[in-house]
């Protein structure tokens, strides 16, 4: 299985009052990951929007396993768990600098037709592109 892998660093503005990474930062990292994953399979966001298709997040679940702290290097891996005819199911794992799983996330996204403002079906070609990073 091919996975998208990228690095992040925990900065001071990522830290909450408890001294670890704020949960909102995980959402930002997932947004970046989803954008990178779509671009890696051939769906640059700007081109999708220009064509009248909007990639829209429908659902997010995050399971926190370990806290992340200031200055840590974070590795994030993402993949397509399954594309369906209308939805794209994504998974992400976030690891601390020791390689330990810090969080696991599931996301559901859809391509929305910009004119109708409703989810549209994925074409067979789009599903094949997504299969490049499929579990």
Domain range enclosing 58: 4-133
Q: How far apart are CA 7 and CA 98, in angstroms?
A: 13
Give the residues across from 60 on adjacent strands: 107
Give the residues across from 79 on adjacent strands: 91
Q: How far apart are CA 104 and CA 123, in angstroms?
A: 29
Centroid of chain to Cα 34: 3
pLDDT in tens, the chain (135 residues): 689 999 999 999 999 999 999 999 999 999 999 999 999 999 999 999 999 999 999 999 999 999 999 999 999 999 999 878 999 999 999 999 999 999 999 999 999 999 999 999 999 999 999 988 887
Q: Are 112 and 53 in contact (CB under 8 A)?
A: yes
CATH number at residue 24: 3.10.129.10
Q: Are 74 and 35 in contact (CB under 8 A)?
A: no
Structural domains in the chain (count): 1
- Helix (H), strand (E) at residue 60: strand 53-64
What's the pTM value of the predicted model, to 2 decimals?
0.92
């Amino acid at each position: 299985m091919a996975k998208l892998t990228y690095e992040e660093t925990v900065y001071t503005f990522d830290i909450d009052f408890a001294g670890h990474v704020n949960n909102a930062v995980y959402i930002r990292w997932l947004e970046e990951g989803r954008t990178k994953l779509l671009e890696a399979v051939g769906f640059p966001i700007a081109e999708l929007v220009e064509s009248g298709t909007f990639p829209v997040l429908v659902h997010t679940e995050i399971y926190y396993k370990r806290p992340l702290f200031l200055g840590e290097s974070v590795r994030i891996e993402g993949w397509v768990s399954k594309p369906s005819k209308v939805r794209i199911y994504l998974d992400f794992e976030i690891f601390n600098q020791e390689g330990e799983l810090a969080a696991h996330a599931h996301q559901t996204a859809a391509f929305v037709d910009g004119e109708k403002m409703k989810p549209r079906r994925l074409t067979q070609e789009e599903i094949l592109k997504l299969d490049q990073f499929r579990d």
